[in-house]
Every structure is written in C-alpha cells, then in structure tokens.
Chains A and B, each alone.
Chain A
Amino acid sequence: MNLFQIVQALRQGKIPPVREIPEPLVDAVAAAASLRGRWTPLSSVERVLAAFRHKEPDRVPVTPVLCSGARQITGISFPEFALDAEKAAEAYVAGFDLVGGDVLVLLLDLSVEAADFGQKILYPENSTPRPDHSDPCVKTVEDYGRIRPIDFSQARRMQEFVKLCRLVVKRVGLRGLVTGFVFGPLGVLSMMRGAEALFKDCVLYPAEVRKACETITGVLLEFVQAQAETGVPAIVIDTLYASRNGLSKELWEAIEGPFAREISRKIKENGLLVGVHNCGHDLYFDAQIRSMEPEVISFAHLPDDCVSERELKEKYGDSVTLIGSIPTPLLVQGTPREVMEACARQIEVFAKGGGYVLAPGCEYPPNIPLTNAFALVRAAEKYS
C-alpha cells in the first residue's frame, strides 16, 4: 500500500489495513504520535496505533467492550440486538458516543455461526441468545461427519453481523478502531453439540471432531473475508477452549490450533490485525501465539505460565498488545470507585512501554447499569 492509497483510505474515513503499510512507516507514525501525545491529546486511532506498536500514547487506550449492554441506551431487546444489524449498529454507536472509549469490539453473541449451521437458537427477551440444548444439532459422534458447508450468502446471522461491521465502520469512521469477531470452530461446535459432550469427544474421537472443525472453518474463512471487506482494521478470534476451562494445551493445539492458524492467516492476508479473546482461566498464551501469531490478546485471567500480572507483562508484553482485564464480578458488584482503583492498579502494571489497552476481561455484563463502564473510561483518562 503506497502513501496515496493510505491517504485515500483515510479520506474515506477508513483505517487502512495496517499490515499492508510498510512497517517502518507504521513505526514512524506511532513514534510521532507517542511524541506528540506528551503535549496534546491524541485521536483514538493514533492512541491505539501507538499502543499496538508498543509506544506510550498520551494515555492508555480503553474500551468498555460494551456490546449487548449498549442496547440499554437505545431501549431495544436482546433479540432485536441479535437479529437486526441496523438496531445493533445504532446501539453500538450510541454506546460509543455516550460512554466513550477508543476501540469498539463488535460482537452480537456466541450463537451467530452455530445458528447458520442449523443449530436451533433460543432468543429470550432479557438475556443473551443461546442454543436450545434440548435439541442439539450434533446429537451423536456420527453427526460430526454430517455437518456440511453452508452457502455463506444465505447465512442469515453471519450476514447480519457483516452488515453490522459495515454500518459501524461507516458511522464511527476515524473516531475509533472497530474490530470484527469470529468464534473459533470448537466454540461453534460446542454450541451445536454441548460443551460437555464435545470435550469428551475431543479425547475419545479427535478425528471426527477435527473433521467437523475443518468443515466449519471453511465457512468461517468466508465470514472473516466478508468482515475484512467492510473496512474493520482488526478481527478478534475467540478461542475459549485454549484454557484450563477447556482442553489440555496439547489437545487444543492438536484439534483447534491448526484451524485457528488458518483463520488468522486469512485475516492477515487482508492486511488486518489479529486479536485473540479468551476469558478462560489459565489460558494458553504460548500455544495461542504459536498458532495464530496475534498482535493482540484480550484476557480475563492470568495465563497458565504466569503467576502474576507483572510476570505476564514481562513475559508477553513485548510481543503482543494486552487487552484487559477488569474482572466481571467487580463490574457487577463493585462501586465505580473500586472499579477505578482496579483500573489504576492495572495501568500501573501494564501501561509502561505501550502494548496495553484497558478493558474488562470479557464483554461488559449486558444487564447491569452502565456506571462502571463510565468508571473504566474515566480511569483511563485519570490514571494514565
């Protein structure tokens, strides 16, 4: 990508694909932003770019990861948020305008991909959509082999998510960095089989599970491609089961690892940044880095090879940008002051040298008041 094309993208209000820009140029821009940030406030895009290139911006970038929680602002229901991209986009942008932040993580819910593979989904009025576990798509081990690729153009919920990406990218423009999202193939399968049965199948019938992952990944690659074409500069892959809540490290690397790598490659082919989200306990930073080589990892708990946040920063802070990790229970129950104090502690540990975005460890709890989302954003401004 040459300078003319970069300027053209910016004039269209789009962040150019960072990977297609010569690295020295990206570093120079990040360094210039970092320097300028000592005297004047940066734009969100400058701030995030500096942080991603491990330079210290004017302050720590922040995202409240306000997803379906934002529907409270526009007064829509969970089903409306999940099924109507226009309404979801309106909620996202309203959340961004009201609460603030530098990054918008687009996520409808974790049932999007499974729904298009034929899993029956329940859409409660007051909670997140979920699979109907009484009627799983994959009822037996043999059913793994019966999963067929779907026509992506007819994949209603994934298409709706792509539309959401397009709408939010357009409306937010250069005011913030908007990311896409894809659930890893094992996650999608867990929606279609049930996590418990899937986990056991991974040990007893790994070949069958891998075969299903292969079929699903084929469609996920189309999903990622379609998201990339909307102008999102980064896509997050959710590999929840690469943690102690999921499979052993070896098993995860053997089953989902290769497919996560394919998805990551597809994202990178489009010049986009790769993010990984994993809110499991003792997550496998090392295995996920080996598999996906992400620029960013969003986490809720410490990885299995670190005993403290300081060790996490020392071990991985130079190679990836860390996003996190204000605990969900604190957001649910804590006072804004307690949330801000937790943010201050994390900023103190993680912010030095860039490579950090302050955020909750997982999606902002969708049914609680937004007070603590404000506290999170305010903490980034106050304590950096």
Chain B
Amino acid sequence: MKGKDLLLALEEAVFNRDSASLESLLAGFDGSDVGPSEAIRALAKGMDRVRGRLRDREISIPEFLLSIDVFRQGLRRIARDACEEEPGEDRETRTVVIGVVEGDTHDMGKNIVAAVLEASGYRVVDVGRDVPRDVFLSALKETKASILALSTMMSTPLENMREVIQWTRRLYPDVKILVGGAPLDERIAAALGADGYAESAVTAPEEASRLVGKTRRAAKAAPVPKAG
C-alpha cells in the first residue's frame, strides 16, 4: 500500500485499535514513499478521531487505551525505521513536561493525556508518577518546555502540587502550568497557581493550545529590550 491509501490505512489502524494491521502496514516502511512526518500525522489523525468518539461517549477508556497503544506502536516503528525523531514545527514552544506529583501513583489519566498531547503535535516528556519536585524542575531545565502538566487523583498530594507550581513560577516564569485530576476543578487549579485546568483527556489538547497561545501572544506583545 502506498501514498494516500497508506496514510488512510494508518489512520484507520489507530482508529480501530488494530495493532496487527498497523504492523503489516509499516513493515518495510522507510519513509521514501510517504514521509515520516506525514505518516505520524496520519496516526495522530486517527487518535484525534478516537478522542472524538470518547468525547461523544461512543467508546470508553479501555478502547481508548488500546488506540493509544497502536498510536505509540506506530510512532516507535516510524522512529526506528525512518529515523524520524519528532514532528518538527514549533518544537521548542511545544514541549510539555508531564507527571503525577509526589504522593500519588495513579497514572492512567496522566498517560492518556500524555498520549493525546503527543497526538496533537506536542513533544511530551513524561517524568512518571510519584515524582518529587526537583525531578520536574530538572526536566523543565533540560527540555526548555513551555508547558508543565501536573496530575493527581488524590487530595493528599495537593500541597506537593502547590509546591511544584510555586517553584516553577519562581524558576521558570514563562512556563505555563496545566493541572488535572479528580480532586481538582478550575477554582482549585487557580488557587494552586496553575494557568489552566484540563477536566479530561478530551479537553487537554485545547487547554494546552490555549496556554501556548497565551505564551506566544505574550511574547509578541512584550516590548523588545533595547540593546545597551
């Protein structure tokens, strides 16, 4: 299969969570017919359609997770066979550091959000679960990320989340902070000092875009410092 047919088939494989089909489609893939970026965009399109089905309650979390697996399988395969690293555009402003704050190991929601952000074109650096403050801060320093996404499903680690936010504000004031999880709502997110709140994986990419948009607008609006 080649060209547009291949792209469509890749999209369908993710949409139908068909791991075997994806594997056969990408067997021998070398990026010469369809470029790696195009192939990745097709996979992402499949994820976006699946996210729409989740939003419309046509599927539930387990099916969504299986589509994520196929999507990631495709990314790995393309990276391996076509030496593609990541989609290139706006990389620096589109890196997200994501993790579950210290004191909590529930990471399914975080994993889902990481995948949908990845499918939406962000470079996602997942630092895991039960993550101490300093690990987040190091990741922000190393990756020059523009968004920090924090998650918890419990109320007990909220103080840890507040602490990570405060330190991020202090050390990396340009980084936008997105939070999500069961004990949170918009108001708590704001009280903790976050810039945004994602109610679910369905809304996370839009909320992240809003924050990145904010960064860009702020950068454009900022006065250019005069030399000397």
Contacts and interface: CB of A to CB of B under 8 A. Distances in A.
A279 B108 CA distance: 17
B57 interface: yes
Nearest to A328: B183
A367 B156 CA distance: 6
A245 B61 contact: yes
Contacts of A202: 62
B187 A333 contact: yes
Nearest to A201: B62
14 contacts: A126-B156, A199-B65, A200-B62, A244-B57, A246-B61, A247-B62, A248-B60, A329-B188, A332-B155, A332-B158, A333-B185, A365-B156, A365-B183, A367-B156
Contact of A251 (B60, B65, B158, B187): B60
Contacts of A126: 103, 156
Contact of A329 (B69, B103, B159, B184): B184
Contact of B183 (A199, A200, A248, A332): A332
B79 interface: no
Interface in A346-378: 365-368
B185 A128 contact: no
Interface in B179-225: 182-185, 187-188, 191
B154 interface: yes
Contacts of A368: 155
A133 interface: yes
A75 interface: no
A121 B89 CA distance: 44
Given A127-B104, A367-B155, 9 more contacts: A127-B156, A131-B105, A196-B111, A199-B61, A200-B65, A204-B66, A248-B63, A329-B188, A365-B156
Contact of A247 (B60, B158, B187): B60
B115 to A, nearest CB: 11
Interface in B82-133: 103-108, 111, 129
A187 interface: no
A124 interface: yes
Interface in A198-237: 199-200, 202-204
Contacts, number: 79
Interface in B44-94: 57, 59-63, 65-66, 69
A328 B60 CA distance: 24
A327 interface: yes
A200 B60 CA distance: 11
A247 B156 CA distance: 26
Nearest to A190: B108
A195 B108 contact: yes
Given A127-B103, A328-B183, A329-B185, A199 B156 contact: no
Nearest to B69: A200
A126 B154 CA distance: 12
Contacts of A199: 61-62, 65, 108
Contacts of A279: 182
A133 B153 CA distance: 15
A210 B126 CA distance: 33
B157 interface: yes
Contacts of B62: 199-200, 202-203, 247-248, 251
B69 to A, nearest CB: 7
Interface string A311-326: 0000000000000000
Contacts of B104: 127
A94 to B, nearest CB: 20
B63 A203 contact: yes
A130 B185 contact: no
B180 to A, nearest CB: 12
A333 B69 contact: no
A223 to B, nearest CB: 24
B65 A196 contact: yes
A282 B182 CA distance: 14
